Each structure stands twice: as structure tokens, then as C-alpha cells.
Chain A
Amino acid sequence: MVATDNERELVLRSRQGDSEAFGALIRAHQRMIHALTYRMTGSLADAEDLAQETFIQAHQQLDQFRGDASFGSWLYRIATNRCLNWRQREARHARLHEEWGREHSPASTNADQTLARRVQEALLQLKPKQRAAIVLTVYEGLSHAQAAHVLGCSETTVSWRLFAARTKLKRLLRNIDPAGGVA
């Protein structure tokens, strides 16, 4: 997937110091980057910090964007590397349950919250590179080849990480069903 003409134009203008152009690029990709950083950390605060770091790094390295991949893929790569270097702080980890109560909208049901919390906890128990493989392929819909490009490894490595991650997740989530109930 290569960059669109519109993306190239916005990148070019951003390189020339046009903050509105870079703002448009952020607007187009902010949700997917926040979703990725949240899945990788399980914390809204850390997800926001990492999303900010991602866009700052992207801005600093705009001259390295060649357009042979989409701008989104390029951002995925930066964000994923940021997340893999992220070190979960123990104090924040201990507060995750507390955060869940605040972060979910009042409209969401207890079952939704329970399911989401259990899944996020299971994701956090994976090794970071396995978690990244799951997040990119399952949640972001990337193919193995695209995930390999983002992660900077071979497709075989991605497949192996996915196998290991799925095996562990099945064990961790074996007692719940998609309705949120505990079997």
C-alpha cells in the first residue's frame, strides 16, 4: 500500500513548515495511533503519551518518509517501536483496574467492561513483540507481510509470534465468551 497523492502533498507541505498540513495528517491518523498505543499499554494516559511521542518523532523524521508505503503504515512503525521501548510502570499497572472504572462510558454495560478488561489484561501478559503482532493483525487488520514490514522482521517471525500469542491468549481467556460472561 503506497502513499496517496494527498498524503504526499500534506507531507511535502509539512516539511516546509505548514502546521495546518501536519495537523491534517494527525487528524487523519490520531484515532488509529491512540488505539494501537492503548492496546499495547492498557492505559489511556500512557497511550496518549506514546501517541504524542509518535507524532513528534514523525514530524522530526518527515524527510525520511519516501512514500513507498502509506503514511499510516509509516506511523504504525514509529508507534510500535515506541511501544516496544515503553516500560510499564508498576504504579500505573496497579491502577489499571481503577482506570477502567473511569475510562469506560456510563453507557457501556458491566459485561462489556468485564470482557474488555479481561482481554486487555490478557494482552498485557503477552511478550511485547507477540502483543504487537496481535494488535497489528487482529485489531489493525494488517496482513502478515504488512505487520512484518512494520515490525522490521520476516513474515515467518510474525507467524511464529502470532502462534505463540494465540496459544497463550486461548489459555488466558478460556473461561470467558464474547458476551462477557464467565463460563
Chain B
Amino acid sequence: MNNADLEKLLRAAGVPERAPDYWEQFPGRMTAALHWRAQRPTTYDVEPARRARFGGAAWGVGLAAVCVILGFAVGFWRGRETGITPAQLAVAQRYFHEIETLFPNQLQAIVFDEQGPRVVLADQPNLPNVAPIYLRVCGPRGCQHFITFSGQEIEFAGQQIAVLADSRGGIILLGNQFVWSNTERIYAGNHLKIEAINLGAEAM
């Protein structure tokens, strides 16, 4: 086998194809990831040599970012006992506006857990333009916060929960083994503590 034969053989071996959706979504996922990294001080992984050159302005921006994250964390920590607080709502609304601007009609949910905010996007930007819903669901292993919409499903503690809103602004959650409503005060199920606010009814 000479070099030309070898190259012909190597080139004949293709790379596995990915779905067209993958290529359409990859840039958006990357820019969203970069957006979050810019907001989270834990991912501030600039090379050490470069970090030393940062001046006072960068320290100021960094301090502001730390304050936002700390405020966010403290707000949610306080909310563990007291329910959804105005501070949490304000932060959630800000996150919602930022992500919705980046991905109009494509946002299915924003999940806030111990690992930070996580964005769930639909394949196509064709979701109906409905008011967002803010949820706080607590179970034996802790709480998660969500911004989502009527008609979407969220996952909590391994179970799928359907989220529905009625015409009066009421919110209903349907799990495999429970149903919950914020207006009818009905609840039957597996010891989850749930709170929900229709952000469309709040000043956004």
C-alpha cells in the first residue's frame, strides 16, 4: 500500500452524521452556555497569567456578579421556609426576560437547582405566546424552582409533571400520582410541597 492508497482509504471512512436539528441548535446552545458562564463566578476559568492583568473595572464587574449570585442564593435559601419571596420573583422575571429574548417562542422551562439555572428549549421556535408560570416544588431531597408555561412538562424527583393554567389564572399540576391546584386547594399525592405563581398576573 503506497501513501496515495492509504489516503484514499482514510478519506473513504466518513464521520457519523448528526441530525440536522443538532447543527441548527448547537450555536444557540453554545451562546446560551456562554451567557450563563458570564453570570456565574464559579465558571470564571480564565488562565492565571491573564487574571493578574485584570484591573479595577473587572474587579467591580466580578463583585457585582458575585453580589447578584449571592442575592439569588440567599433569596432562595430564605424562601425554603417562607415560600416564594418577592426577591425570588424579581430574579426569576429577570432570567425569564433575558432567555426569552435570546430564544423567542422556544423556551420550555428554566430550571433552578443546586447546580444553577438550566434552560430547556423546544426543537423549533413555535411555542405559543402564553404567560410564564413560576413554580417551587419541594420534596424530601430539597426544592427546585422552575419558570415554565401552561402545556409544558417539568421533571422533579424522576417524575413528569404536567403544568396547566386555566382562564382565571389558576394553575394545575398533574403528576403520575397526584393532582394539585393553587385555587381549588386540592392535593392528593406524594408529600410534595408546591407553590405556583402566574407571572402573567404579576407586573413583568
- Chains A and B come from one and the same complex: yes
Q: Which residues of A contact B (CB under 8 A)?
A: 19-20, 22-24, 26-27, 30-31, 34-35, 38-39, 44, 51-52, 55-56, 59-60, 100, 103-105, 108, 112, 115-116, 118-120, 134, 138-139, 166, 169-170, 173-174, 176-178
Q: Which of A100, A119, A120, A134 gathers most chain B CB within 10 Å?
A: A119
B34 and A173: CB pair below 8 A? no
Question: Which residues of B are found within 8 Å of A176, using beta-carbon distances?
Answer: 9
B27 and A23: CB pair below 8 A? yes
A173 and B9: CB pair below 8 A? yes
A52 and B33: CB pair below 8 A? yes
CB interface residues, B 33-88, toward A, < 8 Å: 33-35, 37, 45-46
**Candidates A56, A100, A112; contact of B30 at CB < 8 Å:** A56
B1 and A170: CB pair below 8 A? yes
CB of B184 within 8 A of chain A? no
A19 and B31: CB pair below 8 A? yes
| A104→B16 CA distance, assembly (Å) | 5
A180 nearest in chain B by CB position: B12
Question: Which residues of B are found within 8 Å of A30, using beta-carbon distances?
Answer: 23, 26-27
Question: How far is the CB of A18 from the nearest CB of chain B, in Å?
Answer: 10
Question: Could you list 30 examples of A-B contacts with CB < 8 Å?
Answer: A19-B31, A19-B35, A22-B30, A22-B31, A23-B27, A23-B30, A24-B27, A26-B26, A26-B27, A26-B30, A30-B26, A34-B18, A44-B18, A52-B33, A56-B33, A60-B46, A115-B13, A116-B13, A116-B16, A119-B10, A134-B10, A138-B7, A138-B10, A138-B11, A139-B10, A139-B11, A166-B6, A169-B6, A173-B6, A176-B9
Q: Count how many chain B residues have C-beta atoms less than 8 Å from C-beta atoms of the other chain.
A: 28
Q: A39-B15, A103-B16 are in contact. Are A178 and B27 (CB under 8 A)?
A: no
Q: Which of A19, A44, A103, A138 gathers most chain B CB within 10 Å?
A: A19
B14 and A56: CB pair below 8 A? no
CB of B126 within 8 A of chain A? no
B16 and A169: CB pair below 8 A? no
Question: How far is the CB of A180 from the nearest CB of chain B, in Å?
Answer: 8
Question: Which residues of A are found within 8 Å of B26, using beta-carbon distances?
Answer: 26, 30, 51
Question: Which residues of A are found within 8 Å of B37, using beta-carbon distances?
Answer: 56
A28 nearest in chain B by CB position: B27
**Candidates A31, A35, A103, A169; contact of B10 at CB < 8 Å:** A169
Question: Which residues of B are found within 8 Å of A20, using beta-carbon distances?
Answer: 31
Nearest 10 pairs of A and B residues by beta carbon: A119-B13, A103-B16, A116-B13, A26-B27, A23-B27, A19-B31, A178-B12, A170-B1, A27-B27, A35-B15
Question: How far is the CB of A134 from the nearest CB of chain B, in Å?
Answer: 7
Question: Which residues of B are found within 8 Å of A55, using beta-carbon distances?
Answer: 30
Question: How far is the CB of A100 from the nearest CB of chain B, in Å?
Answer: 8
Question: Which residues of A are found within 8 Å of B15, using beta-carbon distances?
Answer: 34-35, 38-39
